[in-house]
Each structure stands twice: as structure tokens, then as C-alpha cells.
């Protein structure tokens, strides 16, 4: 949860940026986690959308988050790929144990991703 202090010397965008950065660095926001939309977070905090947008831009410049177009903004990091590989390995083990073919397993993944 992000909170703003109206009496703090830091402007709101910096408070937002710092709180998100701290949560990422502490591991409270893991790689791949989707952040709230700019508009949604701005509404929640009672600030202008440009305030949140500036905080997100600065987090992107620091390579702490990445924006994927209309999909939104996500916590960046090598951890995303590492976690994806681990999930794929677990899935591969399971489908082998179930006796599924590669084509059957890939078809199941495709259907799950298209939902």
C-alpha cells in the first residue's frame, strides 16, 4: 500500500517512486507483478494521473519496472525469466508423468494462455 504525506518535503511523485522502489528492493513486489494502472493508482491516492505517470517513468528509467503497452506496467527483473523457466520445468515433469505427448502438452498450454 502506498501512502502520501502532504507535509513531507518530497513531492508526491517522489514518494510514490520511492515506496514502489523500496517494495521491489525488499522483495515485497516480485518480478513480473503487475502494478496498478496509472489512472487507478492516481484515483486511489487522490493525485493527478501525471503524478503517477512521472513516478512510473522514473522507475522505468531505473529499470525497476517495465511497461508492456496496453498490458500495463510490471516489476522488471531477470527473475521473470527465471521463474518462467522453473514453471516450465515443473510443467514438463508433470506432463511426462501423465504420459502426454509434446503436442498435447503444448496444446494445453496454448489453450490456457489464450483464456
pLDDT in tens, 17-52: 999 999 988 889 988 899 999 999 999 999 999 999
Provide the pLDDT for residue 81: 65
Q: What is the pTM (predicted TM-score) of this model? A: 0.69
CA-based nearest residue to 19, from 32, 43, 1, 31: 1
Burial annotation 25-47 (CB, 10 A radius, 16+ → b, else e): eeeebebeeebeebeebbeebeb
CATH number at residue 23: 1.10.10.10
**Same domain assignment for residues 72 and 16:** yes
Q: Determine the structural domain holding residue 33 and report its residue range.
A: 12-76
For the ranges 64-68, 74-78, 98-102, which has the lowest average pLDDT? 74-78
Provide the pLDDT for residue 79: 59
Helices assigned H by DSSP within 46-114: 49-61, 78-98, 102-114
Q: Please report which confidence band the pLDDT of residue 115 belongs to, taking 50, 70 and 90 as the band edges.
A: confident
Overall number of domains in the chain: 2
Residue 3: inside a domain, yes or no?
Answer: no
d(CA 23, CA 17): 10
Amino acid at each position: 500500500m502506498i501512502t502520501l504525506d502532504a507535509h513531507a518535503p518530497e513531492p508526491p511523485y517522489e514518494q510514490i517512486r520511492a515506496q514502489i522502489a523500496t517494495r521491489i528492493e525488499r522483495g515485497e513486489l516480485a518480478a513480473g507483478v503487475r502494478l496498478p494502472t496509472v489512472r487507478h493508482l492516481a484515483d486511489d491516492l487522490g493525485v493527478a494521473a501525471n503524478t503517477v505517470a512521472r513516478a512510473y517513468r522514473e522507475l522505468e528509467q531505473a529499470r525497476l519496472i517495465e511497461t508492456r503497452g496496453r498490458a500495463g506496467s510490471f516489476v522488471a527483473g531477470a527473475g521473470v525469466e527465471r521463474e518462467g523457466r522453473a514453471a516450465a520445468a515443473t510443467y514438463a515433469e508433470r506432463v511426462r508423468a501423465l504420459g502426454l505427448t509434446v503436442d498435447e502438452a503444448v496444446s494445453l498450454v496454448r489453450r490456457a494462455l489464450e483464456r
